[in-house]
A and B are shown apart, each in its own frame.
Chain A
Amino acid sequence: MSLNNVVASGGLDCHLNSGCGFPAPGAEIFLFDDVASFTIANLEFHISKVTIVLFLCVFLILGFFIYAFRKPKLVPRGAQNVGEMGYLFIRDGISRDIIGKDGDKFVPFLFSFFFLVWLSNFMGILPFAQIPATSIFAIPVAFAVIVYITWVPLGVYKQGFGGFFGGMLFPPGVPKPMYVLLTPLEFLSNLIVRPATHAIRLFANMFAGHLLIATFSIAAFYLLSASVIGIIGSAASFTVAVALTGFEALIQFLQAYIFTLLTAVYISGALHAEH
Chain B
Amino acid sequence: MSLLAEVTGSLGSIGYGLAAIGPGVGIGIIFGQGVQAIARQPEAYGVIRQNMILGFALAEALALIGFVAPFVFGV
Contact = CB atoms under 8 A, between A and B. Distances in A.
B64 A261 contact: no
Interface of B: 46-47, 50, 53-54, 57-58, 60-61, 64-65, 67-68, 71
A208 interface: yes
10 contacts: A26-B71, A98-B50, A197-B58, A197-B65, A200-B61, A200-B64, A201-B61, A208-B64, A258-B53, A261-B57
B71 A201 contact: no
Interface majority SS on B: helix, strand, loop or mixed? helix
B54 A265 contact: yes
A200 B65 contact: yes
Contacts of A258: 53-54, 57
A204 interface: yes
Interface of A: 26-27, 93, 97-98, 197, 200-201, 203-205, 207-208, 254, 257-258, 261-262, 265
Given A200-B61, A200-B64, A208-B64, A262 B71 contact: no
Given A27-B71, A97-B47, A201 B53 contact: no
A262 B57 contact: yes
B54 A204 contact: no
A116 B54 CA distance: 20
Contacts of B60: 201
Most interface-central of B57, B60, B65 (chain A CB within 10 A)? B57
A261 B68 contact: no
Nearest to A198: B61
A26 B68 CA distance: 11
Contacts of B64: 200-201, 204-205, 208
B54 A200 contact: no
A261 B53 contact: yes
B53 A257 contact: yes
Contact of B67 (A93, A97, A208, A265): A208
A207 B70 CA distance: 13
A204 B65 CA distance: 7
Given A97-B47, A201-B60, A201-B61, A254 B53 contact: yes
Nearest to B65: A200
B53 A204 contact: no
B68 A201 contact: no
Given A200-B65, A204-B61, 7 more contacts: A26-B71, A197-B61, A201-B64, A207-B68, A207-B71, A208-B68, A262-B57
A210 to B, nearest CB: 12
B17 to A, nearest CB: 14
Nearest to A204: B64
